[in-house]
Amino acid sequence: MEGMGADVVLTGLLWYVVFLFSTTLHEASHAFVALKLGDPTAYEGGQVTLNPWPHIRREIFGTVVVPLISFMLAGWMIGWASAPYDPRWALRWPRRSAIMSLAGPAANLSLVLVAATLIHVGRAAEVFRPPATLSFTRVVGVYEPAWEGPAMVLSILFTLNLLLFLFNLIPVPPLDGSGALGLVLPESTARSYQQMLWSQPMLSLLGIVIAWNVFDRVFPPLFWLAVGWLYPGVQYG
């Protein structure tokens, strides 16, 4: 592993570590909030943990195979995990189920804010600066090469969690935004909606196709908007 090959492997490793941590926190947040609101299903399945192994074991394709393939094809990672819940609990308490659905995206948003705060601290300390060119892996520039590693980790943490936060809020099944509709729908309508989704599993596949096509158009301008918030007055492209 020399030259560019070593750089690619290191970048892929950083992406995977951040992806695994972010996804684990997302699912653990679902599981923890569900437990607090009366559904111990995920807790009993070992999902209320930041140990990634229970989450990998439950969704090895989404947590290992897809992230590695997406990195090889696109240079960044996407994937998924899941936390189990009791459908009877969700049907009885649609508002609680909706709050549980929002817990995962809220965890990702918190990581975006943590990354942004650390980037601002680094800029104030004259360690970080806006990068000369911007990419998903390069949101933070440095003055000294010794800070390249932390800058890349913060770049990935910011980009990936922004992506996970926004993508999961799209209100189509099986994404969290669909589950969160229970907060705005009448309870009877929310129950009927949940029953329809359970009886028509193909809607989840259709939802993913729709979400990906929508997100492919929506995310780039939102990413640039977030970068503008991160670096006010700095122009790219």
Relative orientation angle of helices 148-168 and 94-124, to the nearest 10 degrees? 150
Look up tokens 């399945």; give the residue.
Answer: 45
Q: Identify the residue whose tokens are 């000294």.
A: 144
Could you say which residues of the chain have pLDDT below 50? 1-3
Model confidence, pTM: 0.94
pLDDT at 200: 87
pLDDT of residue 2: 45
Q: Is 235 among the domain residues?
A: no
For residues 21 and 27, give the distance between their C-alpha atoms in angstroms, rounded to a whole number: 10
Asked whether residue 236 is domain-assigned, the answer is no
Give domain status of residue 12, yes or no: yes
Residue 185 lies in a domain: yes
Structural domains of the chain, count: 1
Structural domain contains residue 209? yes
| φ, ψ dihedrals at 45, nearest 5° | -85, 0
The answer to the question of residue 237 being in a domain is no
Pair type for strands 128-129 and 141-142: antiparallel
**Which region, left, alpha or beta, applies to residue 38 given φ > 0 means left and ψ of -120 to 50 means alpha?**
left
Residue 110: which domain range? 4-230
Residue 184 vs residues 49, 98, 176, 188, 203: alpha-carbon distances, Å: 30, 9, 14, 11, 21
**Residue 72 structure tokens:** 């090889």
Coil, helix or strand for 77? coil
